[in-house]
Structure 1
Amino acid sequence: MPRNSVNPIEPYTLKNGEKRYRFQIYLGTNPLTGKEQRTTRSNFKTQKEAKVALLQIKYEIDKGTFQKKSYDTYGELYVLWIENYKNNVEASTYRKTLGIFKNHILPVMKDYRIEKITIDICQKHVNEWAQKFKNYRATISYAAKVLDFAIKRGIIQTNPYNLVDMPTAITKRKVMQQEEKEENFYTKNELNNFLTCLKSENDFKKYTLFHVLAYTGMRKGELLALKWTDIDFENHEITVSKAISLDYNNKIYLKSTKTGKTRIISIDSNTENILMQWKKQQMKDCMVLGFNAKSKTQLVFSNKYNSYMQPSLTQKWLKKITDTHKLKAITTHGFRHTHCSLLFEAGVTIKEVQDRLGHTDVQTTMNIYAHVSPERKTSAIDKFAHYLAN
């Protein structure tokens, strides 16, 4: 049997200069592996507190009731949870999750001992996150997943995040503040003005890209994954079956659409002509660079290496264009909302809009419908007044 230290409790210093105590204790030999087993406890504020915990563990070992806890802190358990989580989600979702934990959850929770996390502690962080973030519920949901993971492993019995009170007053205030902000789409006149300004810059690739976004409502990732074989000029249709995204290493990869379903989008003759013109120019550009643009795998929009474009590039283009011409700033995704809004304004039914944009849930379509342009709202009240008057 290994020789025990006279006093296994030792002090150490945190990064912020505070003093803490820890100890390691021998548990015996693992009957399955034949290897020595030890457990460590740390983060005690006083030597007396560490001594009490040490005596308690020794007592449980003597009685045969001690159960080794491999994951003492939230941060330690998170490491195991995230490895399992990684195998069950898209790489892009995993990347987003890493960011939420790194930026918002781990900085405040990683050092908490799992069994010491109370409802009050969770409530405190829920209130903080609600003040900081619009989508704070997602942060809470992710934070709770690690504790659900702890329940499955018998470390704790209940998840305190399931018992917190959601700050509804803060939520309502944030919704009101959001509604006061400028909407993330263009009206008909704003879109036409944007495309006119863009056309004047004589960059046909950019013009084509934003025109197609506005006239099809495709997601950016779907558009950047598009190949010429996906466009049926004879039947005036585009097949949307895949998208590009970034994994946790910021590398581009090809995946299915957001809903996992393929959809067919009809295109108007003007959009079709613009695409045909771009195809001819792209072939010339690729020939100069030594690429074969006639390949069946040729992308509609590619980078200078004739590979996938970085998704962030479109937003950089957009910002430069709106700044140069002093236009309303929207995001690249705002062109999808623009397309949706103008479809409603043109009188297209909600069901038709849902199918065209590939929304699995009609509520998503309805949420955009609730923020349609002033022209559409005026039209609605005019129709109402006309109906009552006749």
Structure 2
Amino acid sequence: MAIFKQYTKKDGSKAWLLQAYLGVDEVTGKEVRTTRRGFKSKKEAQLKLNELVLEFESKGLEKQSKTTFKDVYKLWFDNYKNTVKESTSMTTERFFNQVILPVFKDIYMDKIDVKFCQKVVNKWAEEYSSYRLLIGYTKKVFQYATHINVISDSPFDKIIRPTKKEKKKKDKIKFYDTDQLKIFLEYLEQKVLNAKDKTLIQEYYAELDLALFRLLAFSGMRVGEALALNYSDINFEDNTITINKNLSQTKQGYEVSTTKTKNSNRIISMDKKTLVTLKKWHLTQRKLLLKNGYNNNKKLFVNVKAQYMTRNEIYQRSNRIADACNLHRIGCHGFRHTHASILLESGESFKGIQERLGHSDISLTLNVYSHLTNKSKEKTAQRFANYVNF
């Protein structure tokens, strides 16, 4: 679609101009229109139009060379966020905003070469334990850029992924041994007893701490799985808990969604003392919520306003309790590691631990917990000797 017009220049001479629609820019999604002047004849203007159309089809009027990393990222992320959970897209967006975009955002895509990318990933490997994720996310943007013809090939396909940061992440796993866990839980039990003579809110949170942290330690479930539990998920007759939900954060607040992986949907057996603790907690919870005008017949763990507890709130409560007990801090996920490590020490198989924790692949269980088997190995010879008894 083009318009050709003859016009009069300031010096009184005649010339031709063209106004044309060339198409839609694949990168920006916007219509591309152009106006050119100064042609001696209509034929000359028509020839120029043919040249512009050919140039646009092959190079997009060189828009690609003016496309920044941030331009491509925005297009990629708009598609990506519709393919994952909102909590996942929020985490991805945070990686980009805090680390990746500050490095790449205003650089034109065709100016980013392998040498520059290699320097970046080497630096990430020095500074971030999650550098593999950073590389993976950045690579997706470059691959998308090749898909929409902004660049011909991705420099991230040619980098060498550093291994320098392969420091034993396993050594950094935080957990309690049996003696430390006993100290932690006994402190909470005493706190519940002391709270009986105090306010109902103090009693409420004392029993909540005991119920929640005992459940985490004795079930091995993820904190999001625990916070998403309903009372209907607990079978007090069969001593089991059904885990099929996860509480995740969104920009609007929190939402209950399916569990992390397919294998995370599971029914696990529980000890009777933990279930009794949950029953006592339920009674205290109902008493205070009804007194304050809230009706909660569904959620297992809520605050005094019948709202879901946040992960950060649980994390901070865990730290305060650890400090009060003179124990090291293990956060929330540390109770999952505690459960696994104690199971290993008791002689449970990796397969059994995989099923209980809801790992999708036993290799994940092996990678995370194989280094915790030293005590079990030390007992192996003695168990054999005790069994044969000669």
If the length of structure 1 is used for normalisation, what is the TM-score? 0.80
How far does residue 329 in structure 1 lie from its aligned partner after superposition?
A: 1.2
* Matches of 1:385 and 1:159, distance apart in 2: 60
User: Corresponding residue for 1:220?
Assistant: 223
1:29 has 2:28 as partner: no
SS at 1:64's partner residue? helix
Q: Deviations over 1:138-169 (max 9, x none)?
A: 1011011111101111121211111111222x
Indicate how the Cα distance of structure 1 residues 276 and 31 shifts in structure 2: closer, same or farther if over 3 A, else same: closer
The amino acid across from 2:294 in the alignment is: F
* Matches of 2:295 and 2:371, distance apart in 1: 44
1:166 has 2:161 as partner: yes
Indicate how the Cα distance of structure 1 residues 63 and 289 shifts in structure 2: closer, same or farther if over 3 A, else same: closer
SS at 1:195's partner residue? helix
User: Corresponding residue for 2:195?
Assistant: none
- Ranges in structure 1 where 5+ consecutive residues have no aligned partner: 4-25, 40-57
Q: Deviations over 1:97-125 (max 9, x none)?
A: 00110111000101111112111011011
More moved, 69-78 vs 137-146:
69-78
* Matches of 2:31 and 2:74, distance apart in 1: 24
- Ranges in structure 2 where 5+ consecutive residues have no aligned partner: 8-17, 36-47, 193-205
SS at 1:286's partner residue? helix
Contact 2:347/2:376 (<8 A) preserved: no
The amino acid across from 2:68 in the alignment is: T
Indicate how the Cα distance of structure 1 residues 90 and 352 shifts in structure 2: closer, same or farther if over 3 A, else same: same
1:307 has 2:299 as partner: no
Indicate how the Cα distance of structure 1 residues 279 and 219 shifts in structure 2: closer, same or farther if over 3 A, else same: same
SS at 2:136's partner residue? helix
Highest CA radius of gyration, 1 or 2?
2
User: Corresponding residue for 2:266?
Assistant: 263
Aligned mate of 2:189, from 169, 193, 199 = 199
Q: Deviations over 1:75-107 (max 9, x none)?
A: 111111110001001111101100110111000
* Matches of 1:195 and 1:232, distance apart in 2: 23
The amino acid across from 2:318 in the alignment is: L
Indicate how the Cα distance of structure 1 residues 283 and 30 shifts in structure 2: closer, same or farther if over 3 A, else same: same
How far does residue 279 in structure 1 lie from its aligned partner after superposition?
A: 1.3
Identity between Structure 1 and Structure 2 (%) = 35
* Matches of 1:217 and 1:251, distance apart in 2: 25
Indicate how the Cα distance of structure 1 residues 309 and 63 shifts in structure 2: closer, same or farther if over 3 A, else same: closer
Contact 1:222/1:244 (<8 A) preserved: yes
* Matches of 2:361 and 2:19, distance apart in 1: 55
Contact 2:23/2:33 (<8 A) preserved: no
* Matches of 1:323 and 1:64, distance apart in 2: 70
More moved, 354-363 vs 370-379:
370-379
Tell me the C-alpha RMSD between the 2 structures. 2.9
Q: Deviations over 1:227-278 (max 9, x none)?
A: 101101111111111011012x261011100114521011111111111111
* Matches of 1:122 and 1:60, distance apart in 2: 38
Q: Deviations over 1:346-390 (max 9, x none)?
A: 222221211111111001111233132654343246457889996
| Equivalenced residues, count | 341
Indicate how the Cα distance of structure 1 residues 142 and 385 shifts in structure 2: closer, same or farther if over 3 A, else same: farther
More moved, 341-350 vs 61-70:
61-70
How far does residue 330 in structure 1 lie from its aligned partner after superposition?
A: 0.5
1:189 has 2:191 as partner: no
* Matches of 1:191 and 1:31, distance apart in 2: 67
Q: Deviations over 1:21-52 (max 9, x none)?
A: xxxxx98324689976259xxxxxxxxxxxxx
Contact 2:183/2:325 (<8 A) preserved: no
Contact 2:22/2:53 (<8 A) preserved: no
* Matches of 2:189 and 2:330, distance apart in 1: 18
Q: Deviations over 1:184-217 (max 9, x none)?
A: 1111111111111222222111111000000011
Contact 1:187/1:373 (<8 A) preserved: no
